[in-house]
Structure 1
Amino acid sequence: MQYDVIVIGSGPGGYVAAIRCAQLGLKTAIVEKYNTLGGTCLNVGCIPSKALLDSSEHYHNAAHAFTDHGIQLKDLKFDFGRMIKRKQEVVDANTSGITYLMKKNKIEVHTGVGSFKDKNTIKVTKADGTVAEITATNVIIATGSKPSSLPFLKIDKKRIITSTEALTLSEVPKHLVLIGGGVIGLELGSVYARLGAKVSVIEYMDGIIPTMDKALGKELQKVLTKLGMDFYLGHKVTGAAVKGKEVTVTFDTPKGEKGELKGDYCLVAVGRVAYTDGLGLENIGITVEERGRKIPVNEHLETSVKGVYAIGDVITGAMLAHKAEDEGTLVAEQLAGQKPHINYNLIPGVVYTWPEVASVGQTEEQLKAAGVAYKTGQFPFKASGRARASGDLDGFVKVLADAATDEILGVHMIGPRAADMIAEGVIAMEFRASAEDVTRASHAHPTYTEAMREACLAATDKRPIHI
């Protein structure tokens, strides 16, 4: 079967690339090794974790916040099995939606493991061992990533688990020892902390969410500590052993002393690694980078082999679903003769704890390191009328602007609905708005987004209205 484009992998990058190719008139096929489409994000990542985050937040609010609103509940309890079942229902609805979109756009789906025979021929090995071959003028690799681990630590998927297993536990842990203070670990840790688990976070760096602005990590740690989570920062994990239903995690403290934590589950959340196994890249002369197994590409996301492209988690850059989507769209539009662009500085990052954390552009640490003269404006949610009404008083919005031109260089926020509000910062920076430009735009009252305007007022000439 001959196509214009074959996409290997059906995650957000892959299925968006396929849809955009089809919209632009290219005959398109997609190859997926699993029986459901959607990749990690829809099946064992973004979507199921958000379902559990929402369910656990509802319970936590009912247990701790409803009385403030005059709502009295008696004998409150949760059904964890139902939470897990609902999570799967959400996943099934989303993955079936992708199947519908493939049919709607006349994209042919081939189920099986895709690998290169040559640069234009893809072998599809089905579960029963049979092999089919399909060919195309262009191939887009969108195979995503998988959880990584520590070389000395064995994942048994029962007591020492990854994020995948953490989404399908049959019980709430009594004590969850979490290795890694990044996005994935903190999101899942907060789910179980809300449901009553003791959660201990061991992080090698001196702060959580270390790739984001340091002020965000400090504030998030304060909030999660109030939730009951414990943090062991600057600690180096040295091992983990399972005995019966108990896991013992050993570590070195910042002072070089030995320590250990015992729990019934250990969640290893130390990042992800590109999934390039079994692709047959050696058959077409592509060598992956040794660290992280990333596929090298040029500015057009084309590999060293003409007509073969790679997007998403298998190439350098942030491992984010929306980055992969943008890259899939870019490749599709290039193949159709268009000239799209991606500004990688403006790919937002989000942590879906509560309060949510979101960031775009340069951090304060990056601006200092680059010697850029900048000014800062910050506005706390405790001064927001809308946040006061909803009881979401933790967090702030911080805007960094060029000291001379007032152009916004970075927006960093932690607070209610920050994941949605960061879009205002992205749009403003996409059009190179100044902080003053944002202050001149009317913001509905009362809304959380007024905090963005107030932070810009603070950055422009130190004149926020409400503090």
Structure 2
Amino acid sequence: MDSFDVVVIGSGPGGYVAAIRCAQLGMKTAIIEKYSVKGGTCLNVGCIPSKALLDSSHHYESAVKDFDEHGIDISGDVKVNIKNMMKRKSQVVEQTTKGIDFLMDKNNITSFEGVGSFKDKTHIEIKNDKETVEIEAKHSIIATGSKPSTLPFIEIDKERIITSTEILSLNEIPKHLVVIGGGVIGLELGQVYKRLGTDVTVIEYMDRIIPTMDKAQSKELQKVLKKQKVKIKTSHKVKSVERKGNEVIIKADDKKGKEVEFKADYCLVSVGRKPYTKGLGLDNVGIDTNDKGQIPVDEKRKTSVDNIYAIGDVVEGAMLAHKAEEEGSMVAEILAGQKPHIDYNLIPGVVYTWPEVASVGKTEEQLKEDKVEYKSGQFPMRALGRSRASGDLDGFVKILTDKETDEVLGVHMVGARAADLIAEAVTAMEFRASAEDIARMSHAHPTYAEAVKEAAMAATGDRAIHV
């Protein structure tokens, strides 16, 4: 029987990063993945393929709508070849997942294919179609991630009533797509198909889209999406989804309680994700899940069993690939006797629509609820020379600071390259910078990042220069 210092179950961003860090720190490491390819949801049916389609569809939309304005003449019709678009997406995914295999070999990590299940706290059984093997683990890290949630009355048929997994591999462009859920995944994928010519309707139960982010971001993104002719129905409670042939009929109650009906050829159910623990054999080691299906852990991500840890989507906190990565590294370093930490307040959130939406720290609503006295500085993207040059005028940067100390408490932005810009805010907040610190930093001109400087100047006392 093979024995290992650490066995990681799951090869998504949390799992493979944990395995690599364990190996770097001198531990004999193994990783178990039930599928034939590594990378988990993020690399195979999540982050990477969705961003590939977002980029491809953005290129198409630019060619159709913007090239003429930039002095680029295209003779003849510009057409979408959905099969080639999906082929490129698959190639991007394949290149990325092969990269994980390379990293496993480079770091001398033993890979097992199959479902890993605990026989007891130190023995794991691995089953696949060909064989069953058993290995011994001094420590284990559960990194099995999550899968799409649904509503109890919706039957996902994976053909017309679909999740984020199926919509990433359609062989046709829908005529009308109804998206149930106005969160990150629904809006990103809805925008992909809207760019390609689909009539898109988003139905959201809450009174605004991206309801967990700052209200100003929700308002701005909704305004932009409506300008792009995405139909958004907030405060709508979906009560039935039925398929009749190639048509899907969705019924919902609006905010006044009146029943409304939507018809589409595809319905994307995007109401969040739930932890995936099936087949782990948690009962065999006495680990219970909570009412959300999560594995309870302490601040070190240790479960109720002293040598078993859990990270990523399967535990509490934001279901984000980069959060899982940080936890993977942290657990590896804890096992090596180090003392790492994660500031969960500084895990950024991003929506990869265009314009992008990014956020870190406290929202204005949270500060009000916590009765924290704060200042706010905001700067519009359209006031930047860089934005005018590129034509990306929508959005803003908002910085929230402590009223007394000027420490930055939250940064919220909508705009071109916001997903990259948010790292500046995370860096500043990690070092407990004040708005004055950011305002005094020289930012290259012309850049989108100048909006961060200007928002900081606004937060320190209405000092923004270009508004």
The answer to whether TM tops 0.5 is: yes
1:340 is aligned to 340
Structure 1 alignment gaps of length 5 or more: none
Distance 1:61 1:127 in 2: 47
Distance 1:127 1:196 in 2: 42
2:27 is aligned to 26
Distance 1:165 1:444 in 2: 42
Distance 1:409 1:147 in 2: 32
Distance 1:353 1:286 in 2: 39
Matches within 5 A, 1:65-464: 65-74=66-75, 75-128=77-130, 130-291=131-292, 293-464=293-464
User: For each residue in 1:124-166, what CA deviation from the matched residue of structure 2 results, as whole angstroms up to 9, or x when unmatched?
Assistant: 00123x2100111100000000000000110000000000000
User: For each residue in 1:229-257, what CA deviation from the matched residue of structure 2 results, as whole angstroms up to 9, or x when unmatched?
Assistant: 10110000001111111000010111111
Distance 1:278 1:6 in 2: 16
User: For each residue in 1:340-386, what CA deviation from the matched residue of structure 2 results, as whole angstroms up to 9, or x when unmatched?
Assistant: 00000000000000000000000000000000000000000110010
User: For each residue in 1:34-87, what CA deviation from the matched residue of structure 2 results, as whole angstroms up to 9, or x when unmatched?
Assistant: 000000000000000000000000000111111111111122112111000000
Q: Secondary structure at the match of 1:69?
A: coil
**Shift in Å, 1:406:** 0.3
Q: Secondary structure at the match of 2:69?
A: helix
Distance 1:8 1:208 in 2: 34
Distance 1:365 1:356 in 2: 21
Q: Secondary structure at the match of 1:67?
A: coil
1:57 aligns with 2:48: no
Distance 1:8 1:88 in 2: 25
TM-score in terms of structure 2 length: 0.99
Distance 1:60 1:66 in 2: 9
What amino acid sits opposite 1:445 in the alignment? H
| CA-based RMSD | 0.5
Distance 2:305 2:395 in 1: 47
Distance 2:381 2:23 in 1: 44
Distance 1:196 1:8 in 2: 41
1:10 aligns with 2:25: no
**Structure 1 runs, 4 residues or longer, greater than 4 Å off:** none
TM-score in terms of structure 1 length: 0.99
Distance 2:62 2:380 in 1: 22
Distance 2:298 2:39 in 1: 26
Distance 1:179 1:248 in 2: 12
2:48 is aligned to 47
Aligned residues: 465
**Shift in Å, 1:194:** 0.3
What amino acid sits opposite 1:362 in the alignment? K
Distance 2:67 2:429 in 1: 38
What amino acid sits opposite 2:373 in the alignment? A
**Shift in Å, 1:227:** 1.3
Q: Secondary structure at the match of 1:140?
A: strand
Distance 1:334 1:440 in 2: 37
